Homo-oligomer: A and B are copies of this chain.
Amino acid sequence: MPGANEKKDCVMGVDFGGTKILAGVFDEKFECIARARVSTKADRGADEVIGRIARCVREAVDECDLDLKQIKAIGIGAPGAVDSESGKVIFAPNLGWNDVPLKKELEKLLDAPVFLENDCNVCTLGVYEVELKARPRDMAGIFLGTGIGGGLILQGKLHSGFNRTAGEIGHMVIEVGGPKCGCGNKGCFEALASRTAIFRRIKEAVKQGQKTVLTEMLGAELEDLRSGDLRKAIKRGDTFVEHIIEEAAEYTGIAAANLINLFNPEVIVIGGGLMEQLEEEMLSIIVETAMDYAMPGTTKGIEIIATRLGDDAGITGGAVLARKHVK
């Protein structure tokens, strides 16, 4: 029934990641009325990837019988350092991008206003505006995945800081001299509790003779290891994997305590693929450790929760970002 959505006041959110692109059309209540997904194919270069983002946007629009002209704005979260003002991706190591004018190129292809932000900032914005009805003044988002990203809402607004790079929670050093991080330093939170860090620790231990049901499940090389496999191993009573996950949860709790001591947000929301798969195993340890490490008197009434938006946090946040610019 084309035309049914004609009068809807719609925006588009795009979650642009290193392996996949998700696009969602959102109505004025931030309900997702259509979505599309394409793979990123980052190795084909920036032009090709930008074309694929445009294709994903068009597919989502088509899915709900709208015309691109009816989309008031498009909000995109991109991995890496983003200059939201100029609309450029400054530095995205996962994509091999440097200084790519994503906003300008997409606006050319789509003839619609495009707004850009760092992916974890966008997820934080989505959780804040759509999931947290009570609208705390200050909130932090921590996203545990291949890497660890984050975002800060301060005094009700996404905090971007002087170089618009704030929220790099994954690169807070919490163990001076600890394991090497992708950023070149040692002991970053990301190097201790990301999926990459967890997988590295498991593979190293297996090489040194550690027994685990993971090798029964996936073979000695642990090829195609995923977060879900860790959950399955723990369910099957694998105390080695359980211990590794407990440790990652403790590091996450310490990082959360640091945020409580530093800026005392009312809510800390934890998301990302790792959290989605292992919430049951990790969340209570994260909360307990954070409350233990935070200074006495600083934690009263502060909540640490898992987001319910799951994989939709990015497109939802993109829609919020778009909506901020059309109001």
| Residues of A in contact with B (beta carbons under 8 Å apart) | 81, 90-91, 136-138, 152, 154-155, 157, 159-169, 171-178, 183-185, 187, 251, 254, 257-259, 261-266, 293, 295-302
- Besides A81-B296, A154-B155, A155-B155, 18 other CB < 8 A contacts? A81-B295, A137-B162, A154-B263, A155-B159, A159-B263, A162-B264, A162-B301, A163-B301, A164-B264, A165-B297, A167-B262, A168-B262, A172-B258, A172-B261, A174-B174, A174-B175, A183-B296, A185-B293
Q: How many copies does the complex hold?
A: 2
Least Cβ distance of A303 to chain B in Å?
A: 10
Is B168 a contact of A254 with CB atoms below 8 Å?
no
Taken together as a complex, chains A and B put the C-alpha atoms of A152 and B159 apart, in Å, by 13
Closest chain B residue to A266 by CB distance? B162
Closest chain B residue to A261 by CB distance? B168
Q: Chain B residues near A185 (CB, 8 Å)?
A: 293
Is A176 a contact of B302 with CB atoms below 8 Å?
no
Is A263 a contact of B174 with CB atoms below 8 Å?
no
Taken together as a complex, chains A and B put the C-alpha atoms of A176 and B189 apart, in Å, by 11
Is B300 a contact of A263 with CB atoms below 8 Å?
no
Least Cβ distance of A279 to chain B in Å?
A: 23
